[in-house]
Structure 1
Amino acid sequence: MSSNMQTTATPPQNQSAAAIPNLAEQQRLFQCSTCKRSFGRADHLTRHVRAHTRQKPYVCPVCSKGFARIDLLKRHVTNHDSNSAKKRQRREITRDTRVVQACEACSQSHLRCEDDKPCARCRKKNIPCQVPDAPTNDEGELDAVHAAQDLLDLSNGADFSPPLPIPESGSHQPSTPRTRAFETNMSLDHRLPPALTGHIDHSAHQPGTGGGDRSMTTPNSMLPPSPPGDGLLGFFDSALPHFVNTPSIDLFLPDCFRNMPPFESYLSGQATPRGLMDLSFDLDIGLTDLDLGLLDQYNFQAPFAAETPSTDARETLEHLSETDSVPVRTEAFKQSIWRYLPQRNRDHGAAEQPNLAFTDSENDSRRSSMTQRRAIPEKLDRVGRDRLLALVLGTCSPANVKRIASAFPSIELLDGLIQYFLTSPTIDAQSWFHLPTFSPSNTSPELLACIVAAGAASTPDTPLRKLGFALHEASRNEQAKAFEEDNSAIRDLHHVRNLCLQLEVGMWSGISRKMEISESFLQPLITMLRRGSRFRQSTWKEIHPNRDDHGPELEKKWLEWSHQESYLRLVYRAFELDRQSSMALLKPPLISYAEMQLPLPNPNALWHANSAAAWKSAFLNTTPHVGKRPSAIDCFLDLEHLSHHDSACKTYLYMMWGLVWEYRQVSTLTAKSQLKANNSLIVSSRYQELVKQLEDFQVSSPSLSKSHEITMELMLLHLHAPLDDTQLFAGIEGQEEARYAYYGLREWTKTVSARQALWHAGQILRAAESLPKVLLCNFNAVAVYHAGLILWAYGFLNRTSSSDPTSGEAPQSVVVLNGDDSLSARRFITLDRGIPSIRNPGSQNTTRLSDVAGVMENLACLLRGLSNAAESSRPPLVGNLVQLLEGLRSATK
């Protein structure tokens, strides 16, 4: 400070008391416009003005507490760093009034002081009341900079004003309220300390001073003089160390950015991200600044509806004949099982509830039409029917309760549907339901309702089928409630088996909504099994009877074994559903082949034993094998297990599908890669390995059923053909996607892989012809549809070049794709010699693939059956597939 302060450092006490007020009065150059109180420093005036306005612009980055002074904020943040976690959570006491600056005597004694000097304590003790000297370090200068800036902001009535350029000398610009406020703020420089006023360049305001070409901003104009040689950066370098503990404060940012919480608080989840992200939401609510002309075309058509043509509909498919009509093919998919369009304000579950009511005459006629066959001796009792009725009424809307309660199916009809479920070859319930221990009275109502639903949905009777789908909906809703009310149900056999059965019924229902729900909820089922360690080898115990086991001990062991075996077969049933749905819907499988470490199911002779004694006898009579039962992985790695275990062949095929799916994905990416030449060797070697594995399996398996044959041929079809692109070209996603898929398919039809895929498609048809007609549904029907897609795409894209040869060469022979393996078939695959054809169902006549309409008609006849049964008697899935094939036939006539 000045020399006057030094001379008055040691005067007599009576002189200092009178001299200090006069000196302070001379240096108080800054006066408050509200209460006329004056201060000696600009930052003191700023703090005083904030006492009137109650503004606290400095916010703690930890607890968001506001402060009027930056030094209080820094001290507060330091306390956060030093205090314990428990003390950090303590709420600090807020004082509304605080002295501007304490005198030296009060500050040394840590006592409260007063703004009026000399303070009462100094007057009472008759001691000098001296105010500490103004700081001369960089921190004090920085406080003065902020104080000067805050004075300008407070005088303008805002915390922050963006920098405004100074108009050039001689230029005439219109005066705005903000520029007038800026000019008013600049008139305050005569009240600032010399250290600040000397740094302001007044030549920018004065015409003719040579400063007209410079622009000036408010923050930079208030900076103190920099040390010699360092410039402006030297000043900030000396000031930055004071802000190490407050990372949210940036010298170059205004208060609205300095007060933001730190970035770390966003990661902790304790604060909602604000600040910079809020700037993107500062939009014109009236939408006056946006050009909405591009929305005009949407006012006349719905751009995302299935029936809306693309904006590029004017473009046509090059190289395609004029008879090709993609919109016609797309129309066939609109009503198909792959085109589910949810609708608002429509309760599909409530729409099925009226189908739950049956009159007495309908009960009698349906009961008499069903075949009287029993799988278990126990019948459904009245209590079981009442439990089903209570479950159904709990899910029905009030408008349907009275009707359903008065006309619910009879006990005899429900019991007949249960028996139909247990004996139907389509459902194959005996492979994973243990009939000797199955009891309707001991089954949960959710599972019992789903069993009745599955049996009714598989019948050829339309009203019974509707009843089954309605019960399926009620069981699905109640099962969700059971899982929510008791989370332990996700490990219970009855509840998990009910969920698996629900997904199976929905997946093959032929109703797009139910199929999409089943596809979505297959993942929770797999998660329940995976988190329950059901894929692990160690989860399953070896339970077997001893020769000395008799009576209750043997009965207890048999029941324990049947429960574990039921759960084991449930896991394999879920594995089968996952693989079949993946092949049918062209979606990734959910269960990895590498995690199938659980053992194979026990032999069927043990599974079908109807008592504990029969189970013991069958176990002792079986030929023991060395070691324990192999796992699914062991069966996959060693083909010797195929001839020793009943389910080994099916398990091997479904394990192979994971590898085939991976190959298809890699092959698709490699075809689009720029490094195709380098990657083709890897892909081709992988392809040869998969083909070799399937050939070895075909040779090693003792005997394949027709269903397993269809599965194997479908895998080989996927291995050689891009079925996803074929379905796109057929029109499932509209004209735009069909155009993109066309060019790749056109090149594919010229390759050996295409002719190999044709052969496997024909072999699928051959196996389907030999399959019992009752089994030509569900997954087998989808396999026939996929084979038809390949035959249709190849015949459609090559029909112009398949005419009979007119040259001097010998006529080409007809190659029957759904016939026996022959030399002509191998010559066609390898050398493209011969005319590919298929044999018509039930006759020896053939139809060339160039006759696309005839091929599609043969496939539709195969799915409909040779007897041409009524359309209503066909399962909905088969009916939808027939509709798709007929749509493709109509589009290619």
Structure 2
Amino acid sequence: MPPFGAVQDAYQVPDFGPASMAFPDFFEQVMMPGVEMSNHTSVVPPDVSNFTSDFTFDAGDFDFGFLASGLTRPPTAQGHRLEDNSRVPGTDQTTHSDVQLRSEAFKRSPWSWNHWIPERSSHAFSGQDVIDVRQERVDARDQLTTPDSVRLVHCDLRHAERDRMIRVVTQVAHTRLTMPSFPSLELLEDLVDVFLLQDSSAIDSYIHSATFASDVTCTELLLAVVAAGARYIALAPVWKMGLVIHEVVRIAIGALLERDNKATRDLQPLQAILLGLDIGVWSGFRRKTEIALSFLQPLVTMLAWSNAFMKFSYQDVIPLPDDADDVLVDKWRAWTEREAKKRLILHTFLHDSQLAILYAKNPLISPAQIMMPLPACRELWLAPNSHAWRNAYLRLGPPSQAETPAMMEFFGHNAVLDHSVGVYDKVLCMLVACHGLGHEIWQYRAHARLLAGWKKTNFRRDRRSDHSRLQRDLLDDLTSFQAHCDLQASSTPEIMLTLELLMMLLHVDIEDVQTFSGKLGEGEARRVFPKIQQWSQNAESRVAIFHAGQIFRVARTFEKTRLRDFYAVALYHAALTLWVYGMITTSAARKSGRQSPSAATQRLSNTSHQSLIQPPRIPLDLTDDRAARSFQLLGQGTAGVYNLQSEFMPLSSSRGLMGTAASILKDNFPQSSNGLPPLIENLANLMGEIGKLSGHD
């Protein structure tokens, strides 16, 4: 991956030779093994499942001289920023042959072909052994936060808290980490404020900002919040510093739990663990992602063993009109801790479900486990002080915890919220319910893979009939849920995109798509090709690409800087599904001479002449889906999506399709000139590389 924020032509397309050999050798060998290959050396495609990188955090990269004057000034010209970082080592700006361009593309991180194996000497601070940020404050132009977010609180840090953080950092890594300078008090305050701002406006907020006080917050959580806040800063020295502190937190939490096992029942250490997992999984770097994926189980175990999933663990905390101020504050803090634990569980469930969907791994938390009461509404959760909380509580009159429906009950009866308007956090509950259905989609896909290997006995045919019926039932559930959300004014793009993704995954095995694309090599791609080819000829594939196109539509509606993490990868999966469908159908049409549903024109023969007829365009990313519904049934027309310039991109145009997806991602981060978050940069570049593979405009 090029350095964070480096400018490159992500869509420069190599010359793949004559138009008749437009697909590169890898896909020609897989789809048409009998065709004579060109003389070009065959180069395998990038690992399409890998959107992380091995960015080097060498000490030499930590050049903080340009920060000496602070960041309250306008950022320096982009040219200055790119003097040393705009080129990838080993490349130049001269013209390359097509084979050389492809080879270089596949060698560059994060698309190495072989499975990633960490170096034997790698450890927590390998290549990132310096903290030297001489920054005073963070300018608003460098904060990748939602513009409409309103700052509810300001965290006042004291030198005592900064000293505590320095002490933990030196204790954890005193022999492996050097600190010419530690972040200033003002910068630490800014990072905490940025995180609290972003978390408070998130659907699944789980850190209570109004009661967040640095003097009573454990040092590990303070450091985790600083590292999480650095994720929303575009300046490389700041977000790199956040990744170093993230490693400190990961090790320090383990030491804390070893020193005092009772900490497994305290809220703040659990919050710090989950924050660390969030940072690692969505960091965009291989090592951090792998470790974060591996360490969710301990958190789930701690929550389960503390009975946090159970309803009886949540006691009523009721404010009274005549409560004295000190009593009221104590009640408010007790209520917020109880509510924060609910939201911690729900965020953990969403985190687990998102990883299961994206990485096709077994989820750790079942919806049947979540028997705690529904979370309270955001008006109560975001109340700025104890008096505002009491006033809202007395006005809303929420039921007791014993009378509050359990989250597990809500999964099967979403209408329960209609009878308690304003009492519960409806948007959060609906998002969690989406992922409850996501678990059923995951089980359906796992069952489909098992069925594919079973012999067609009468017993197994019954299983297949049940499997098809399950698909119809799940589609009905998702469609009904989507219709219910469409009627709600509180529905959000996050919910709608999740539903579209689930409906897409119900009709396509994303593992097969990635395998055909080259994830596991040519042999595995050849093995899965007949299955993908058969899928592309059925109506099921057209349903899948319709919902993939709808993901493009919903992604455009996200608030600025919100299309990141899970939702950014979901857009990538949608683009990959459309790309594979377009490639397969175009290849089939090329071999048979028939019209492809992803081609731009249709050629008809008669006795006198050949004429070109323009087939109807089928935009998959518009809300008016009558033509798209007809396409799903009949397969007639040219399917495609519109780019940001309102130009129609047929699915046969790989570069146009992938360029559109990458543009949607980048357009969600318009403010800073100092680069994109690493994961977003990785995804945009990966889609640019994939767009080049078929050689189609």
Q: TM-score, normalised to structure 2's length? A: 0.77
Q: How does 1:839-854 map to 2 (within 5 A)?
A: 839-841=642-644, 843-854=645-656
- Preserved CA contact (<8 Å) 2:658 2:688: yes
**Which of 442, 445, 449 is the equivalent residue of 2:223?**
449
- Alignment match, 1:599: 373
| SS of residue in 1 equivalent to 2:247 | helix
- Alignment match, 1:696: 480
Report the Cα distance in structure 2 between the residues aligned to 1:614 and 1:420, rounded to whole angstroms. Answer: 23
Q: How does 1:604-619 map to 2 (within 5 A)?
A: 604-619=378-393
- Alignment match, 2:75: none
| SS of residue in 2 equivalent to 1:542 | coil
Residues 867 and 508 of structure 1: CA distance in aligned 2, closer, same or farther (over 3 Å):
closer
- Alignment match, 1:629: 404
Q: Deviations over 1:532-589 (max 9, x none)?
A: 1111121112222244544433332222111111111111111111111112222121
**2:551 maps to 1:749:** no
Cα distance, 1:436 vs structure 2: 2.0
**Which of 486, 505, 508 is the equivalent residue of 2:282?**
508
- Alignment match, 2:522: 735
Q: Which has the higher mean CA deviation after the structures are superposed, 375-384 or 560-569?
A: 375-384
Report the Cα distance in structure 1 between the residues aligned to 2:525 and 2:672, rounded to whole angstroms. Answer: 34
Cα distance, 1:351 vs structure 2: 2.1
Q: How does 1:50-89 map to 2 (within 5 A)?
A: none
Cα distance, 1:857 vs structure 2: 1.6
Q: Which amino acid aligns with 1:820?
A: T
**2:594 maps to 1:877:** no
- Alignment match, 2:46: 329
Report the Cα distance in structure 2 between the residues aligned to 1:698 and 1:429, rounded to whole angstroms. Answer: 18
- Preserved CA contact (<8 Å) 1:600 1:632: yes
Provide the aligned length of Structure 1 versus Structure 2: 573
- Preserved CA contact (<8 Å) 1:329 1:891: no
Larger Rg: 1
- Preserved CA contact (<8 Å) 2:360 2:511: yes
- Alignment match, 1:353: 129
- Alignment match, 1:128: none
Report the Cα distance in structure 1 between the residues aligned to 2:568 and 2:45, rounded to whole angstroms. Answer: 23
- Preserved CA contact (<8 Å) 2:504 2:548: yes
Residues 400 and 634 of structure 1: CA distance in aligned 2, closer, same or farther (over 3 Å):
closer
| SS of residue in 1 equivalent to 2:312 | coil
- Alignment match, 2:32: 319
- Alignment match, 1:864: 666
Q: Which has the higher mean CA deviation after the structures are superposed, 644-653 or 683-692?
A: 644-653
Report the Cα distance in structure 1 between the residues aligned to 2:339 and 2:278, rounded to whole angstroms. Answer: 20
Cα distance, 1:366 vs structure 2: 4.3
Report the Cα distance in structure 2 between the residues aligned to 1:761 and 1:429, rounded to whole angstroms. Answer: 23
Report the Cα distance in structure 1 between the residues aligned to 2:455 and 2:269, rounded to whole angstroms. Answer: 51
- Alignment match, 2:165: 388
Q: Deviations over 1:40-98 (max 9, x none)?
A: xxxxxxxxxxxxxxxxxxxxxxxxxxxxxxxxxxxxxxxxxxxxxxxxxxxxxxxxxxx
Report the Cα distance in structure 1 between the residues aligned to 2:584 and 2:560, rounded to whole angstroms. Answer: 32
- Alignment match, 1:583: 357
Report the Cα distance in structure 2 between the residues aligned to 1:753 and 1:820, rounded to whole angstroms. Answer: 20
| SS of residue in 2 equivalent to 1:836 | strand
**Which of 254, 259, 278 is the equivalent residue of 1:480?**
254
- Alignment match, 1:417: 191
Residues 822 and 700 of structure 1: CA distance in aligned 2, closer, same or farther (over 3 Å):
closer
Report the Cα distance in structure 1 between the residues aligned to 2:499 and 2:378, rounded to whole angstroms. Answer: 23
Report the Cα distance in structure 2 between the residues aligned to 1:539 and 1:343, rounded to whole angstroms. Answer: 45
- Preserved CA contact (<8 Å) 2:152 2:384: no
Q: Which amino acid aligns with 1:409?
A: P
Q: Deviations over 1:701-728 (max 9, x none)?
A: 3242011111111111111111011111
- Alignment match, 2:572: 785
- Alignment match, 2:332: 558
Report the Cα distance in structure 1 between the residues aligned to 2:466 and 2:43, rounded to whole angstroms. Answer: 36
Q: How does 1:212-251 map to 2 (within 5 A)?
A: none
**2:449 maps to 1:668:** yes
| SS of residue in 1 equivalent to 2:122 | coil
Residues 761 and 781 of structure 1: CA distance in aligned 2, closer, same or farther (over 3 Å):
same
Cα distance, 1:447 vs structure 2: 0.7
Q: How does 1:504-583 map to 2 (within 5 A)?
A: 504-583=278-357
Q: Which amino acid aligns with 1:845?
A: E
Residues 337 and 600 of structure 1: CA distance in aligned 2, closer, same or farther (over 3 Å):
farther
Report the Cα distance in structure 2 between the residues aligned to 1:616 and 1:691, rounded to whole angstroms. Answer: 43
Cα distance, 1:455 vs structure 2: 0.5
Q: Deviations over 1:802-826 (max 9, x none)?
A: 2533337975311000112332111
**Which of 576, 599, 603 is the equivalent residue of 1:806?**
603
Residues 769 and 696 of structure 1: CA distance in aligned 2, closer, same or farther (over 3 Å):
same
- Alignment match, 1:376: 153
Cα distance, 1:450 vs structure 2: 0.8
- Preserved CA contact (<8 Å) 1:713 1:764: yes
**2:657 maps to 1:855:** yes
Residues 806 and 369 of structure 1: CA distance in aligned 2, closer, same or farther (over 3 Å):
closer
Residues 864 and 871 of structure 1: CA distance in aligned 2, closer, same or farther (over 3 Å):
farther
Q: Which amino acid aligns with 1:358?
A: V
| SS of residue in 1 equivalent to 2:30 | coil
Residues 866 and 605 of structure 1: CA distance in aligned 2, closer, same or farther (over 3 Å):
closer
- Preserved CA contact (<8 Å) 2:154 2:193: no
- Alignment match, 1:23: none
**2:530 maps to 1:817:** no
- Preserved CA contact (<8 Å) 2:250 2:276: yes
| SS of residue in 2 equivalent to 1:398 | coil
Q: How does 1:169-248 map to 2 (within 5 A)?
A: none
Q: Which amino acid aligns with 2:128?
A: E
Report the Cα distance in structure 1 between the residues aligned to 2:266 and 2:43, rounded to whole angstroms. Answer: 50
- Preserved CA contact (<8 Å) 2:616 2:637: yes
Q: Deviations over 1:646-694 (max 9, x none)?
A: 2221121111111111111112222332135332210111111111111
Report the Cα distance in structure 2 between the residues aligned to 1:436 and 1:327, rounded to whole angstroms. Answer: 53
- Alignment match, 1:495: 269
Cα distance, 1:333 vs structure 2: 8.7
| SS of residue in 2 equivalent to 1:600 | coil
| SS of residue in 1 equivalent to 2:566 | helix
Report the Cα distance in structure 2 between the residues aligned to 1:822 and 1:400, rounded to whole angstroms. Answer: 57
| SS of residue in 2 equivalent to 1:436 | coil
- Preserved CA contact (<8 Å) 1:333 1:732: no
Report the Cα distance in structure 2 between the residues aligned to 1:574 and 1:329, rounded to whole angstroms. Answer: 31
Report the Cα distance in structure 1 between the residues aligned to 2:443 and 2:649, rounded to whole angstroms. Answer: 35
- Alignment match, 1:197: none
| SS of residue in 2 equivalent to 1:847 | strand
Report the Cα distance in structure 2 between the residues aligned to 1:528 and 1:756, rounded to whole angstroms. Answer: 41
Report the Cα distance in structure 1 between the residues aligned to 2:448 and 2:438, rounded to whole angstroms. Answer: 15
Residues 635 and 592 of structure 1: CA distance in aligned 2, closer, same or farther (over 3 Å):
same
- Alignment match, 1:55: none
Report the Cα distance in structure 1 between the residues aligned to 2:417 and 2:140, rounded to whole angstroms. Answer: 44
| SS of residue in 2 equivalent to 1:345 | coil
Cα distance, 1:337 vs structure 2: 8.0
Q: Which amino acid aligns with 2:186?
A: E
Report the Cα distance in structure 2 between the residues aligned to 1:873 and 1:642, rounded to whole angstroms. Answer: 42
Report the Cα distance in structure 2 between the residues aligned to 1:780 and 1:732, rounded to whole angstroms. Answer: 21
- Alignment match, 2:469: 685
Cα distance, 1:427 vs structure 2: 7.9
Q: Deviations over 1:573-621 (max 9, x none)?
A: 1111111111222212110111111111111111122233222211111
Q: Deviations over 1:436-484 (max 9, x none)?
A: 2110111111110110011012211111110110111111111111111
Residues 648 and 318 of structure 1: CA distance in aligned 2, closer, same or farther (over 3 Å):
closer
Residues 426 and 778 of structure 1: CA distance in aligned 2, closer, same or farther (over 3 Å):
farther
* Greater relative contact order (CA < 8 Å, ≥ 6 in sequence): 2
- Preserved CA contact (<8 Å) 2:204 2:347: no
Cα distance, 1:733 vs structure 2: 2.2
| SS of residue in 2 equivalent to 1:656 | helix
Residues 742 and 571 of structure 1: CA distance in aligned 2, closer, same or farther (over 3 Å):
same
Cα distance, 1:319 vs structure 2: 2.4
Cα distance, 1:752 vs structure 2: 1.1
- Structure 2: stretches of 5+ with no match in the other structure: 1-25, 48-104, 590-595
